[in-house]
Amino acid sequence: MAGITLTQQASGQRQATSPWLNPKLVAGLVMVALVLVLTLIGLILWDVTLARAASSPLNLPPFWVPGGTMAHPLGTESSGRDLLALLIVGGPMTLQVGLIVGITSMVIGIVLGFAAGYLGGAVDAVIRTLSDTALTIPSLAILIVISAYVRQMDVTTMSLIVALLAWAGPTRVIRAQVLSMREQGYVRMARLTALPTPHIMFREMMPNLLPYLAASFIGSASGGILAAVGLEALGLGPQRIPTLGMTVSQAIQGSAILRGMWWWWGTPTIVLMVIFIGLFLVAIGLDEVVNPRLRGVRG
């Protein structure tokens, strides 16, 4: 019994503060913001042209390892690029992909999800079939086919291609929510008072969808980054700009792991991990904000 009282007290205390101050949510946001702020500061302070090949000495270790210099604090790789410059250029690119994919797929998700959930009928059947189809297909496979044919790949093009296949998840989530919300009292009331449909959709229902929208934004952003890093690793990403995935992939091809050049694959991996874990924490945090039952369970 003691355990039960304790959890009740704990959840009672949490209710006093805003659920948006969820520790996981805050921690995740801080991690993502940290990557963004540090790389933006880096863009101002560090010489980014060092990210070009043959701009620096080859295979230098980081400065704290014997042989490293402060001129290249995180070391350099086999074609003479400075890793710090690579991270500064690649980090914001990665976040940009997430932002574009997240926004695009969320907008598509809102339009299709509302259309399916609110209008119902044949529209719903078509949209549901399409999104179920899109969900079961391994999207990376289709992405590979598309990217293999696009000759001039840049970050925006890649993000839009990824977003084309990332809308199904948000659409399903939003459709399900709209479907259950449509029958609730305040929406029925609004319909009875003959408010225009767009007004009901965007002024009455949308605010209640915000946590779900945020969650699906984070979900597609992190899924988009995942797909983009995969494409970059396979050599299908942008070729002119050094991305994090491309750096890791080149490190593997240069067998950096077995040559003991851990900084070559390690530093971009750490940045990617911080981004992914950050987004993951945000997602879990949002889940707990939306679904109060999960807050009671520690973990």
Partner 1 sequence: MRGLSLGYVIRRVGMFFFTIWASATVMFFIPRLAPGDPVSAMVTRLTSQAGRVEGSAALITAWRQRFGLDDPLLVQYLRYLRGMLTFDFGYSLAQFPTEVGAMVGRAMPWTIGLLLISTVLTFLAGTLIGALMAWRRTPRLLRWFLPVSLTFTAIPFYILGIVLVYVFVFALGLFPVSGGYRNDLTPGFDFAFINSVIQHGTLPAMSIVLASMGFWALGMRGMMVTVAGEDYLTLARAKGLRPLDVLFRYEVRNAILPQVTALVLGLGGIVGGTVLVEYLFGYPGMGALLYQGITNSDFTVIQGIVFILILTTVTAVLIVDLIYPLLDPRITYERR
**Interface residues toward partner 1, by CB under 8 A:** 3, 129, 132-133, 135-142, 144-146, 148-151, 222, 226-227, 229-230, 233-236, 248, 252, 257-258, 260, 262, 265-266, 269, 272-273, 276-277, 279-281, 284, 291, 293-294, 296-299
- Which lies closer to partner 1 via its Cβ, residue 56 or residue 285? 285
Task: Answer whether 91's CB lies under 8 Å from 52's CB.
Answer: no
Across the strands, what pairs with 76? 82
**CB of residue 163 vs partner 1: minimum separation in angstroms?**
15
**CB of residue 247 vs partner 1: minimum separation in angstroms?**
12
**CB of residue 265 vs partner 1: minimum separation in angstroms?**
6
Across the strands, what pairs with 82? 76
- Which lies closer to partner 1 via its Cβ, residue 187 or residue 214? 214
**CB of residue 165 vs partner 1: minimum separation in angstroms?**
10
**CB of residue 170 vs partner 1: minimum separation in angstroms?**
14
CA distance 107 to 105: 5
As given in the structure block, the two tokens for residue 155 are 């970050």
Q: What angle do helix axes 155-164 and 139-149 make, rounded to 10 degrees?
A: 140
- Which lies closer to partner 1 via its Cβ, residue 100 or residue 225? 225
Task: Answer whether 178's CB lies under 8 Å from 117's CB.
Answer: yes
- Which lies closer to partner 1 via its Cβ, residue 90 or residue 187? 90
Task: Answer whether 88's CB lies under 8 Å from 46's CB.
Answer: yes
CA distance 53 to 92: 20
